[in-house]
Every structure is written in structure tokens, then in C-alpha cells.
Amino acid sequence: MKLFFVLAAFAMAVSVVNGYSDDDAWKDYKKKHKLDYNIEDDGGKRDGLRKKIFLNNREKINKHNSHTKSYLRKLNQFAAMGTWEKKRYLGVNPSKAPKANFLKSIPVNLQSRQLPSSLDYRFDPCMPEIKDQGYCGSCWAFTTITPLEFSQCKLTDSPVVLSEQHLVDCDNTNGGCNGGWYTSAWDYLQSNSGAVKETLYPYNAKEAVCKFKTSMTGAQVASYDYVQSNNATAMQVALMEYGPLATALTVIESFFAYGAGVYDDLECDGQSVNHAVVIVGWGNQNGVDYWVGRNSWGTTWGTNGYFLIQRGVNKCGIENYPAYVAAAA
């Protein structure tokens, strides 16, 4: 990992030596992400504003990566966005979160089993491809669907892709692109004929009129529940027993630029959660325990859409609200 950071710093130094200017970096970034900020009669003001945001983020990323850190930041689709825009890529409604006393009262069944040193569902045949929620606060819907897809596949031994758009349009207990909560969505699915096949209800990152029909159903929710809060061992057991876990965490500016390594920013601790993700495994890197997290920001974010984050310390509140779901046979 140290070599990785050294090489990254070396690459940045070479780019400066070879005369790679800020203008070059901005042009290459726009080309890579297919961005065009030019507006007629604007005089380049909008492009200039975006360039300023980009260069500021680029400077922060380079500064972070020039020191030995546990995680690497990178330029991605968020590098030219303002804070107001990034908020649209979150979407957890913390008012729906259960109370701490309730979470502490949940029984813990550790079954005296030997836990492996690592577990990683990223490459399991039942793990669907990474998806992208786009400019819609629907992370809660993606976090609802992924564990159900995995559970359904394990029952039938056949991969299934389910619809998040169905929840965005039809689940009135949640707020569509304005946020929601995964256990509320599981309750909705359990009470309303189940989840829909993606091919019959494709995602478009916008709220629309509900088009659900019972003939679209591709999976049913048999049961769901929370895992005891702030209990990493209980979460590991639940991961082995049920598969990927839904959870919430606090996203701050640095997380948007996450690239690789074990995320450990102190600034996210002790704040209200604002984003939903899925935990798909655990491990240890250079003596640091971590969770493997799955995001819904596409494959260009993080490490092919995934991230590592400190385990056992409730980093960014990620161990506050873990929950599992089981598909109906």
C-alpha cells in the first residue's frame, strides 16, 4: 500500500515536470466525464466556476495523497460539483431510524461459531453489478434492493436484478428522490406483493407515477430485522447467516473523493447519518480491521464502486443501524 502512494505521488510530480497545466487537467477531466459547461452569451462564467471547484478539489486530493495515509483519494464524477449538488447523491432519512434503546435490546445470537479472518461477497455469483443512483436521493432504495437480490439468488441459485425505481415511484412510506429508509421499504415490499424485476421497471433517477403490477414481481420479503447496534461481531455473524447487510453512515466531503484503502476520516464520527450503503464483507489490511462496503454511485467511484472502512469503531456511524433481509421461498 505504501508503494501505491509513492507511485501516485511520483506520477503527480512527473505531470508537473512535463508541463501538465491546470488547463490541461481541466480539459482532460471534462473529456473523460463528457462534461460541457459552455453556455451561449455566458462569457465562460459557468465553466470558470466549475474549473475553480475542480482545481480546489484537485489540490486537496493531491495534498492528501502526498502524505502516507490509510486511504487514497481520487478525481471522480464529484470533483467539479458543489456541495449543494453532492447532497442529491445521498438520501437517508434519519428521522426513520429506530431509537438507541431499541437497538441495544435486540438479542444477539453468536452461535459460538468460528469467524473467518475475512469474508468478501463482492465476487459471489449472487452479487449483482454495481448500480448508479444518479442525481436522485434514492440510496435507500438501492440499499433495500441489493441484500434482497442476493438472498433471492441464494434461494433459487439464479441471479436476479430487481427494481429500485419501483420503490422510488410507489413506496409512499418513503420519499422517493428526497430520501427514505431501508427497513421501511422492506416493510412496504412485504405488504405490497414484493419487489419488481428491473427489466419490467427500469431505473431513471426521477420520481414518476407508480406503474406497479403484480405480474412484475420478482422476489418477496419473508422477514427482516436489525442487528444489534455497535456490535461488530454480531454483524459478522449476520453477514454469514443472511448475506449482505443494509446500513447507514455519515458522508462528508472526503468520502466523495474516496479512491482506495481503508477510510478513516475522523470528521464523520458522531454526526447524523445521511447515506445508505450495503456491507458485503470484512477483512484486515496492514493491521487495520475493515468492512467492505458497496455504494450506489457507479463503478467509477471508489474501487469499482466499493470501499473499505474501519471496522469495530463505528466509523461514520456505520455500525449504528445494520439490518438484514431474507427472501421468501
Q: What is the DSSP string of 19-64?
A: T--HHHHHHHHHHHTT-----TTSTTHHHHHHHHHHHHHHHHHHHH
Q: Provide the H-helix boundaries in 66-116.
A: 83-86, 100-104
Domain-embedded: residue 172: yes
Catalytic residue, candidates 57, 231, 274, 295: 295
Catalytic residue, candidates 177, 275, 316, 320: 275
Annotated active-site residue 314? The verdict is no
**Do residues 65 and 90 both lie within one domain?**
no
Contacts with 136 (C-beta within 8 Å, 6 or more apart), sequence order:
88, 91, 168, 176, 177, 205, 206, 207
Of the three residues 34, 69, 104, the one that is the final residue of a domain is 69
Domain-embedded: residue 79: no
pLDDT class for 20, splitting at 50, 70, 90? confident
**Do residues 28 and 166 both lie within one domain?**
no
**Do residues 142 and 252 both lie within one domain?**
yes
Annotated active-site residue 67? The verdict is no
Tens of pLDDT along 131-190? 999 999 999 999 999 999 999 999 999 999 999 999 999 999 999 999 999 999 999 999
Annotated active-site residue 295? The verdict is yes
**Do residues 278 and 164 both lie within one domain?**
yes
**Do residues 60 and 104 both lie within one domain?**
no
Are 321 and 248 a contacting pair, CB within 8 Å?
yes
Rounded (to 5) percent helix, strand, coil in the chain: 40, 20, 45
Provide the 10 A C-beta neighbour count for residue 109.
11
**Do residues 158 and 65 both lie within one domain?**
no
Domain-embedded: residue 77: no
How many structural domains compose the chain? 2
Question: Rounded CA gap, 194 and 219, in Å?
Answer: 6
**Do residues 98 and 48 both lie within one domain?**
no
Domain-embedded: residue 132: yes
Tens of pLDDT along 228-239? 999 999 999 999
Q: What sign does the CA torsion over 11, 13, 14, 20 have?
A: positive
pLDDT class for 41, splitting at 50, 70, 90? confident
**Do residues 256 and 300 both lie within one domain?**
yes
Cell matching residue 329: 421461498
**Do residues 54 and 92 both lie within one domain?**
no
Of the three residues 10, 37, 69, the one that is the final residue of a domain is 69
Range of the domain at 54: 2-69
Question: Rounded CA gap, 292 and 147, in Å?
Answer: 14
**Do residues 59 and 169 both lie within one domain?**
no
Question: Rounded CA gap, 121 and 119, in Å?
Answer: 7
Question: Rounded CA gap, 37 and 217, in Å?
Answer: 41
Of the three residues 17, 43, 69, the one that is the final residue of a domain is 69
Domain-embedded: residue 91: yes
% the chain with pLDDT above 90: 86
Residue 111's pLDDT is 67
Domain-embedded: residue 201: yes
Cross-strand bridge partners of residue 278: 246, 294
**Do residues 138 and 17 both lie within one domain?**
no
Domain-embedded: residue 76: no
150, with CB counted inside 10 A (0-12, 13-18, 19+), is buried
In a 13 Å sphere around the CA of 134, the CA atoms on its Cβ side amount to 10
- The enclosing domain of 313 has a CATH number of 3.90.70.10
Residue 9's pLDDT is 47
Terminal Cα distance for the chain, rounded? 44
**Do residues 39 and 109 both lie within one domain?**
no
Residue 17 has pLDDT above 60, yes or no: no
